[in-house]
């Protein structure tokens, strides 16, 4: 019976692995990445459109998270190009403050990376307030904020940590306020509702005129120039020369007003990024997948993440739980270690796995695997140690070998408790797997992130509702498995 359970879950794991490794349907030879904000996604779609123009099949791996994640993906070869900004390169990635374009190119070349000429617009950081509030307080520049220590600051999470973000800005202007981190797109809504007073902006954000935001003067020149460029791997010039030539040909073609207009069409007019990019390039937009095909794709990706991680966790956690029950001293160490894993912030664990597995499904699977261990290990341990002592002594007295006692008596008696742990792990994984979208793993989180970025409740629900239903379905499926695998005698005893 227990062997049948193991075989069933191992089969699910193998099937999910096959789903996760299905080839890219587009047959793309190269991949462009983008960060998780609208302008980066639009530029990624422009790059993909240039690929169609030049006869190169380009896959767009959109909204992969923050700067460090996309940069690592480029260095590791998971993507071949992505849009970046010179200020971010100089201040955050290469740590070369004040470096000119030639110096940046030379340092990038040492890492096997090339940089296009600037695209034509500068999207530097800035601080902003509601115009009416700024006028009421007489605030025109960042230096004026020092006279209003009670103002509430809310900055994008990445801005909170960057060398060219809040730490350096606070020191440069000697600002007395504290700041809270939040999603960059949510910050605009917080500003509009009055929940926060000051936030960070990108100068080409469409929300600046829409929300009537006053951009504060950077009198001390803290923020460097952020000229938009494309970074690409050096070997791409040999693998896709036509596409590289097209990327290089973008130099000077996008001014700030044009970029702001493209952003507005996506953020405010709710047009698809691919359609906006295609219209600007003067080409036909790719046919967008309908809601149901898109939902099926996200379901397949989510099931793969949950199925593989849960199956692998079962193969490791069950033996660990048995070991913890059979060897109490060693078992305390096992339970403590798996408990510590559960306390780690989930997003941090996802990011920690990137150097080992790159971006995509596998780092997410590794993180979900670690989160699955504790419920299964602890419930296996609890189920085995909870068997009445007289039953264990009787089994030993009639001469059954330890392995026979384990498979024939102890595991069947502990099955309900073990399955309860597996159900818990499955439900946790379904919810936590939505974070995998931040590192390119897909799943329902992709729709949720896009909905947050575009302020689209329908997209958020497109990811959140199926995730909740999948969690309920997983729990119900394991209830059926428990009923099928529990011997009839034990079921009758439980009813009494």
What is the CATH classification number for the domain harbouring 483? Answer: 1.10.3720.10
**Same-domain pairing of 323 and 441:** yes
The pLDDT value recorded for residue 481 is 76
How many whole angstroms separate alpha carbon 33 and alpha carbon 45? Answer: 9
- Kindly report the average pLDDT of the chain as a whole number: 87
Residue 436 within a domain: yes
**Same-domain pairing of 137 and 244:** no
Number of helices and strands in the chain (H, E): 25, 10
Instruction: Report the domain count for the chain.
Output: 3
Residue 2 within a domain: no
The pLDDT value recorded for residue 3 is 58
Could you say which of 215, 243, 260 is where a domain stops? 215
pLDDT by residue (tens digit) across 144-162? 999 999 999 999 888 898 8
- As to burial, measured by CB atoms within 10 angstroms (0-12 exposed, 13-18 middle, 19+ buried), residue 24 is exposed
**Same-domain pairing of 140 and 260:** no
CATH number of the domain bearing residue 137: 3.40.190.120
The pLDDT value recorded for residue 374 is 93
Residue 405 within a domain: yes
The pLDDT value recorded for residue 319 is 92
Look up tokens 């510590």; give the residue: 340
Rounded-to-10 torsion of CA 68, 73, 76, 77: -150
Could you say which of 162, 181, 215 is where a domain stops? 215
Assign 457 a pLDDT band (cuts: 50, 70, 90).
confident
pLDDT by residue (tens digit) across 197-248? 999 999 999 889 989 999 999 999 899 899 999 999 999 999 999 999 999 9
The pLDDT value recorded for residue 23 is 46
Q: Is 344 left (phi over 0), alpha (psi -120 to 50) or beta?
A: beta
**Residues pairing with 14 in the sheet:** none
How many whole angstroms separate alpha carbon 257 and alpha carbon 261? Answer: 6
CA-wise closest residue to 336 among 371, 370, 367, 374: 374
Residue 12 within a domain: no
Segment of 4-18, 168-182, 470-484 carrying the highest mean pLDDT: 168-182
DSSP state of 212: T
Q: What percent of the chain has pLDDT over 70?
A: 91
How many whole angstroms separate alpha carbon 77 and alpha carbon 354? Answer: 12
Residue 6 within a domain: no
CATH number of the domain bearing residue 71: 3.40.190.10
The pLDDT value recorded for residue 444 is 93
How many whole angstroms separate alpha carbon 80 and alpha carbon 62? Answer: 13
pLDDT by residue (tens digit) across 382-423? 999 988 877 777 767 777 787 788 777 888 888 889 989 999
**Same-domain pairing of 259 and 390:** no
Q: CA 128: distance to chain centroid? A: 27
**Same-domain pairing of 54 and 41:** yes
Contact 183, 191 (CB under 8 A): no
Rounded to the nearest 5°, which phi and psi values hold at 400?
Answer: -70, 140
Question: What domain range is 49 assigned to?
Answer: 24-122+226-281
pLDDT by residue (tens digit) across 111-133? 999 999 999 999 999 999 999 99
The pLDDT value recorded for residue 350 is 84
Residue 17 within a domain: no
Q: What percent of the chain has pLDDT over 90?
A: 55
How many whole angstroms separate alpha carbon 255 and alpha carbon 407? Answer: 70
Could you say which of 183, 215, 247 is where a domain stops? 215
Q: CA 208: distance to chain centroid? A: 27
How many whole angstroms separate alpha carbon 434 and alpha carbon 467? Answer: 8
DSSP state of 441: -
pLDDT at 362 over 70: yes
Residue 220 within a domain: no
**Same-domain pairing of 201 and 233:** no
**Same-domain pairing of 151 and 36:** no
């Amino acid at each position: 019976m227990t062997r049948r359970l193991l075989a069933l879950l191992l089969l699910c794991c193998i099937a999910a692995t096959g789903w996760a490794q299905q080839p890219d349907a587009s047959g793309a030879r190269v991949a462009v990445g983008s960060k998780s904000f609208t302008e980066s996604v639009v530029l990624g779609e422009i790059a993909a459109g240039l690929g169609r123009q030049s006869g190169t099949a380009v896959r767009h791996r959109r909204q992969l998270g923050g700067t460090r994640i996309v940069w690592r993906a480029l260095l590791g070869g998971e993507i071949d190009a992505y849009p970046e900004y010179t200020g971010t390169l100089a201040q955050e990635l290469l740590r070369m403050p004040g470096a000119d374009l030639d110096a940046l190119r030379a340092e990038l070349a040492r890492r096997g990376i090339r940089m296009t000429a600037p695209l034509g617009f500068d999207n530097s950081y800035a601080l902003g307030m509601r115009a009416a509030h700024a006028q009421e307080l007489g605030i025109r520049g960042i230096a004026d904020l020092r006279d209003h220590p009670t103002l509430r600051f809310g900055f994008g999470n990445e801005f909170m940590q960057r060398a060219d973000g809040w730490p350096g800005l606070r020191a440069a202007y000697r600002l007395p306020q504290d700041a809270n981190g939040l999603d960059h797109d949510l910050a605009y809504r917080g500003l509009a509702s009055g929940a926060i007073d000051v936030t960070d902006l990108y100068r080409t954000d469409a929300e600046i005129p829409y929300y009537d935001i006053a951009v504060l003067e950077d009198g001390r020149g803290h923020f460097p120039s952020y000229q938009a460029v494309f970074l690409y791997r050096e070997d791409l010039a040999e693998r896709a020369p036509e596409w590289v030539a097209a990327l290089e040909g973008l130099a000077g073609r996008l001014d700030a007003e044009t970029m702001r207009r493209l952003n507005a069409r996506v953020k405010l007019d709710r047009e698809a990024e691919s359609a906006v990019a295609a219209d600007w390039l003067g080409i036909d937009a790719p046919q967008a997948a309908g809601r149901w095909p898109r939902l099926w794709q996200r379901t397949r990706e989510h099931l793969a993440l949950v199925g593989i991680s849960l199956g692998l966790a079962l193969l490791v956690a069950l033996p660990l739980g048995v070991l913890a029950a059979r060897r109490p001293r060693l078992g305390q160490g096992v339970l403590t270690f798996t408990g510590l894993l559960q306390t780690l912030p989930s997003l941090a664990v996802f990011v920690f796995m990137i150097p080992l597995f790159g971006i995509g499904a596998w780092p997410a699977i590794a993180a979900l695997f670690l989160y699955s261990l504790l419920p299964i290990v602890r419930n296996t341990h609890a189920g085995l140690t909870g068997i009445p002592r007289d039953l264990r002594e009787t089994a030993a007295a009639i001469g059954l070998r330890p392995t026979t006692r384990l498979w024939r008596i102890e595991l069947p008696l502990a099955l309900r408790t073990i399955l309860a742990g597996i159900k818990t792990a499955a439900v946790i994984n379904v919810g936590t797997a939505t974070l995998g979208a931040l590192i390119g793993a897909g799943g329902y989180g992709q729709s949720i992130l896009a909905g947050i970025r575009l302020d689209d409740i329908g997209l958020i629900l497109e990811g959140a509702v199926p995730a909740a239903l999948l969690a309920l379905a997983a729990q119900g499926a394991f209830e059926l498995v428990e009923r099928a695998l529990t011997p009839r005698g034990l079921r009758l005893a439980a009813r009494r």
